[in-house]
Structure 1
Amino acid sequence: MQNRLVLTATVDREDALRYTPAGLPVLEMWLRHQSRQTSCGFERDVACEMQAVLIGDNARKLSGTLAGNTVNVTGFIAQRSLRNPRLVLHIEYVEFVKG
């Protein structure tokens, strides 16, 4: 079973493109999300910031174009590494939201 997270967020900042030892392009960024959600019949404002990473060809193609833009992203959440339990959104798909 594959579970995917879909999120609309603004890219607060993006790091410079880097490469893994295996040569894969990696683009790290920080996303800011705000929305109004219904939970148990009550509406509430929600907001969060999260670190995200885009790996592969899309990282190379989108590097330098994301910061300041609102995007719809699809991906999955995983801990940063075996030794670092902090959660990171691994982006698999990016779509720019038209303002």
Structure 2
Amino acid sequence: MHNRLQLSATVEREADLRYTPAGIPVLEMWLRHQSRQPQAGIERDVSCEIQAVLIGDGAPRWAGKLTGQCIAVSGFIAQRSLRNPRLVLHIEHVELIKG
């Protein structure tokens, strides 16, 4: 089974950098995507907002630098927690899109 997501989006907002009890850095953010996608032979306007999280060494490196930026990300989706089924994108790679 595969669980991979690639997305280009604008970072709408970032939460403050935080650390898990084990000392692992975590950066939460909300991404806004807009595009035109083919579906059933027609073009469809697509817009969505998705919550994302960057965990590990990349979190402090990107913290405070992404809001308002266009980025390309890749990672996987998972529910937020055992009790919260809302999907969150777990970012494994971030790249700024030069515009």
Flag whether TM exceeds 0.5 (same fold): yes
Runs of 4+ in 1 over 2 A off after TM superposition: none
What is the identity percentage for the equivalent residue pairs of Structure 1 and Structure 2?
72
What CA deviation, in whole Å up to 9, does each residue of 1:53-82 have, x standing for no partner?
000000011101110000000011100000
Matching residue of 1:37: 37
Provide structure 2 residue ranges, at least 5 long, that are not aligned to the other structure.
Answer: none
Q: Is the CA contact (8 Å cut-off) linking 2:11 and 2:70 kept in structure 1?
A: yes
Residue aligned with 1:12, SS: strand
Map 1:1-99; keep pairs closer than 5 Å: 1-99=1-99
Q: Note the C-alpha offset of 1:4.
A: 1.2
Partners of 2:68 and 2:19 in 1: CA distance: 23
Partners of 1:3 and 1:79 in 2: CA distance: 12
Q: Note the C-alpha offset of 1:2.
A: 3.9
User: What TM-score does the superposition give when structure 1 sets the normalisation length?
Assistant: 0.97
Partners of 2:75 and 2:60 in 1: CA distance: 17
Provide structure 1 residue ranges, at least 5 long, that are not aligned to the other structure.
Answer: none
